[in-house]
Amino acid sequence: MSAPGLPDGAGPRRPLGVAAIGYAFMGKAHSQAWRNVGAYFDVPAVEQRVLVGRDPDAVAEAAAKYGWAESATDWREVIARDDVDIVDICAPGWLHAEIAIAALEAGKHVLVEKPLANALAESEAMVAAAVAARGRGVQSMVGFNYRRVPALAFARKLIADGRLGVVREVRASYLQDWLADSSSPMTWRLRKETAGSGALGDIASHAIDQVQYLLSDTVTEASGRLHTFVGRRPGRDGAEDVTVDDAAWATLVLSGGALASVEASRVATGRKNSLRIEVYGSEGSLAFDLERLNELEFLDGSGPVQEQGFRRIVVTEPEHPYLEAWWPQGHVIGWEHTFTHQIRDFLLAIRDGNPPSPSFEDGLQVQRVLAAIEESAAAKSTTVQL
């Protein structure tokens, strides 16, 4: 029998065994993707073998609900199992490095939720483990799922095809309001030791990844500002200090000469999940908002000027990225589909023996930008070269 998930050798493949670590919001989102991917896309067969979490009863309940054959509480035992080929890490960021490195060393393909880790040194160690594992045919990927929004994948193609000419400016903002209420309680996402940072690592990371992804370019300079508006929130034993930012702003310079502004907030009252991206080029422009994820605004500057203007493309045609697998043309998809697309691409990369994208190196590059913004914010008004 050939190795699971690797290109065919002598015999038939067995399904790839998957373990997911974490069963909260992201574990739930990834679980539905593992459950659905084979029904819609032509990918290697997978089996949802085991879901891992700390609370035995809660993880058993989640496993039964989300389609996992079993549950477990010890991730170390799980990554040692011969019937586990893929480890999907949906646990909070402070656990990413330890689990990912151990899983890669055990020869398991690894998908890890964004951001890659909470600290730069951890991310560097993860990249070293990923590079060593890649040499043994073991793949790794970081889950920036918005790369798999069809409209954004299509936007990248339009930019790569030169339809915007030379890209000069990008405005990227990711605004949410789930922390706008000052009485919202503490969570692990508001403590530096568990989350690393606030809006910066949680959602500015998506915006920064998009800027680099859409332009196929790299940030080389950053200056930034971080702010916490609600310094104390109700905790288990009374009011507790919030130790991360509520909002983050940055200006970035890309190696190709474009400038980008990035703004992220989890206290932007009224904005629910608005990842908004505008790209301005010498010959055209694009605009996208995640709250309307099936749409892309495109201005094609090649026609007569009196006929120009942004037009709304409804990105629901089978010719658009990922969409031929879903519904007849014109039928919209949702946020959860991006995770299914992500797993589709991960499985095809494993099947073909190709490194998936975004790689841990791409994740590290985002971490470098986050660290530069933090450094600049701490120094108040310094521009940091990457």
Which amino acid makes up residue 15? P
Q: Which is nearer to ligand SOE, 25 or 327 (CB)?
A: 25
Q: Compute the least distance from the CB of residue 186 to ligand SOE, in Å.
A: 15
Place of tokens 């697998």: 325
Q: Kindly list the residues in this chain that would bind ligand SOE in the complex (CB under 6 A).
A: 25, 176, 202-203, 266, 273
Q: Compute the least distance from the CB of residue 189 to ligand SOE, in Å.
A: 7
Q: Which is nearer to ligand SOE, 163 or 266 (CB)?
A: 266
What one-character DSSP code corresponds to residue 24? S
Q: Which is nearer to ligand SOE, 31 or 176 (CB)?
A: 176
Q: Compute the least distance from the CB of residue 223 to ligand SOE, in Å.
A: 24
Q: Compute the least distance from the CB of residue 265 to ligand SOE, in Å.
A: 10
Cβ(16)–Cβ(44) below 8 Å: yes
Q: Quick one: how far is CA 328 from the chain centroid?
A: 27
Q: Compute the least distance from the CB of residue 137 to ligand SOE, in Å.
A: 29
Please name the residue ranges forming H helices in 12-149: 25-40, 56-66, 75-79, 96-105, 120-134
Q: Compute the least distance from the CB of residue 347 to ligand SOE, in Å.
A: 21
- 253, with CB counted inside 10 A (0-12, 13-18, 19+), is middle
Residue nearest to ligand SOE (CB): 202
Q: Which is nearer to ligand SOE, 138 or 141 (CB)?
A: 141
Q: Is 135 helix (H, G, I), strand (E, B) or coil?
A: coil
CA dihedral (47, 52, 57, 60) in degrees, to 10, reads: 0
Q: Which is nearer to ligand SOE, 176 or 285 (CB)?
A: 176
Place of tokens 């990225």: 321
- 82, with CB counted inside 10 A (0-12, 13-18, 19+), is exposed
Q: Which is nearer to ligand SOE, 178 or 327 (CB)?
A: 178
Tell me the C-alpha to C-alpha distance, in Å, between residue 261 and each of 5, 23, 218, 258, 276: 41, 34, 14, 10, 11
Q: Compute the least distance from the CB of residue 146 to ligand SOE, in Å.
A: 7
Q: DSSP per residue over 291-355, as a string?
A: GGTTEEEEEETTS-GGG---EEEE--STTSTTGGGSSSTT----TTHHHHHHHHHHHHHHHHTPP
Q: Which helix (H) or strand (E) holds 239?
A: strand 238-241
Q: Which is nearer to ligand SOE, 17 or 201 (CB)?
A: 201
Q: Which is nearer to ligand SOE, 350 or 369 (CB)?
A: 369
